[in-house]
Structure 1
Amino acid sequence: MITPDLESGTKLWHLVKNQDQDQREGDRGSKMVSEIYLTRLLATKGTLQKFVDDLFETIFSTAHRGSVLPLAIKYMFDFLDEQADKHSITDQDNPHFVFDIHKSGITDACLSVVAQTFMDSCSTSEHKLGKDSPSNKLLYAKDIPNYKSWVERFYYDISRMPAISDQDMSAYLAEQSRLHLSQFNRMSALHHIYTYIAKYKDQILTALQKDDQSRRQRLASQLEQVMDTMGLAS
């Protein structure tokens, strides 16, 4: 609220009225604003529907419009399945998402709606929605069953793909590194890895000391040497 003119008694508002107004007037105004925003949300959703569908179809496809699923995706899923069996993990959690880019406020809000829809599509539980449910869930409620079917097909298709050997994976990563050599800052990447390792140093060292192959290669002691060197440099 803009500071009122004490002499004239006039009060000015910027978009939102002050809370000391009549409650009924405030409720009526809020309802009117909500209806306006809902209409705009639905109109915007209709405009963007094809792009959201294309995004989800691309993500949840092992072969989409001539693009073959990268080996790293199959390798990662097999690794996660292997770790789940190794540690007797049977529960199914929703995937997490990371947008490692700078986003303006309006872009972040729009992406949050898409991200929420993405998570709901990957969820194994049913969401009961009502009139009091948040608009970002209601907006794509009718589309979720269709997206869920894409997710189920995606996991099924990946499970039927042939396993990727360590040699093939190493060759794939080497080729990707060669193709994108000029697009990444190696020192920046190493710094991010170091920051992560420094945060979980004790857990990583413990895991390396328990693993037979890591012990044979003395990875724990080599990591400690790297950490000590970096500590002196900083």
Structure 2
Amino acid sequence: DQALKHGIKDPEVVHIWKSNALPLRFWVNLIKNPNFVFDIYKSNIIDSCLSVVAQTLMESCSKSEHRLETTSKLLYTKDIPAYKDMVEKYYSHIKQMPKVSHGQLNVMLAKKFQLHNSVLKTDLIFFELYKYAFKYNDQIIEDLDKNSLSQKEGLAEKARECFGALANLPQSTIFPN
């Protein structure tokens, strides 16, 4: 839908955008750097193995034909066509799913939050989000003002209200000891 909204009709460009949005930016980074999430040591051998898996995922999301250059392509060359089919089916399945409203998303996130609340250090999470948002609040509001979807939802004004409310709180309320 977003591609059509922006006049992009080339299915290859749409595929590349989808692949860059989640699999490549998020999953490849997580696969190659599990130490970002887990408190683990990543040896050079483990790093090499994870790079092979990450490269295989990148190749599986690519529309171009693979060349036998890297280790992962040599190891997984016979599997990559099947993986490419799986990626296509995944994108097709996502496209057929019903759209989720902001309200539905908020309800689902609230349920997940309640389910995992005892594990999360919410005050620390909030503090880190606050630091980031406070640092970039002018840019965030400026970008929200420019985006037509966020204009419809009034997100820039909501962000201004939120930043204003937080700015008026005592520092001890916001910043953990």
Instruction: Report what 2:133 is aligned to.
Output: 197
Following TM superposition, by how much is the alpha carbon of 1:174 offset from its aligned partner in structure 2, in angstroms?
1.6
Instruction: Report what 2:160 is aligned to.
Output: 220
Q: Distance in 1 between matches of 2:95 and 2:80?
A: 23
Work out which of the residue numbers 25, 28, 33 in structure 2 matches 1:96.
25
Report the AA paired with residue 125 of structure 1. Answer: S
Q: Distance in 2 between matches of 1:87 and 1:229?
A: 41
Tell me the number of residue pairs that the alignment of Structure 1 and Structure 2 aligns: 149
Identity %: 38
8 Å CA contact 2:134, 2:163 repeated in 1: no
Which protein has the larger Cα radius of gyration, Structure 1 or Structure 2?
1
Report the AA paired with residue 124 of structure 1. Answer: K
SS state of the match for residue 64, structure 2? Answer: coil
The answer for unaligned runs of 5 or more in structure 1 is: 1-80
Name the structure with the higher helix share.
2
Which protein has greater RCO, CA pairs closer than 8 Å, 6+ apart? 1
State the TM-score, normalized to the length of structure 1.
0.53
1:4-153 correspondence to structure 2 within 5 Å: 81-82=1-2, 84-88=3-7, 91=13, 92-93=16-17, 94=20, 95-97=24-26, 98-99=29-30, 100-101=36-37, 102-105=40-43, 106-129=45-68, 133-153=69-89
Q: Distance in 2 between matches of 1:153 and 1:179?
A: 31
Report the AA paired with residue 25 of structure 2. Answer: H
Q: Distance in 1 between matches of 2:158 and 2:101?
A: 24
Following TM superposition, by how much is the alpha carbon of 1:159 offset from its aligned partner in structure 2, in angstroms?
1.3
8 Å CA contact 2:56, 2:73 repeated in 1: yes
Q: Distance in 1 between matches of 2:89 and 2:50?
A: 24
Q: Distance in 2 between matches of 1:202 and 1:104?
A: 38
Q: Distance in 2 between matches of 1:115 and 1:125?
A: 17
Taking a change above 3 Å as real, the CA distance of residues 187 and 87 of structure 1, as seen in their structure-2 partners, is farther
8 Å CA contact 2:52, 2:72 repeated in 1: yes
Following TM superposition, by how much is the alpha carbon of 1:180 offset from its aligned partner in structure 2, in angstroms?
0.9
8 Å CA contact 1:209, 1:220 repeated in 2: no
Q: Distance in 1 between matches of 2:170 and 2:66?
A: 48
String of CA shifts for 1:51-75, please: whole Å, max 9, x gaps. Answer: xxxxxxxxxxxxxxxxxxxxxxxxx
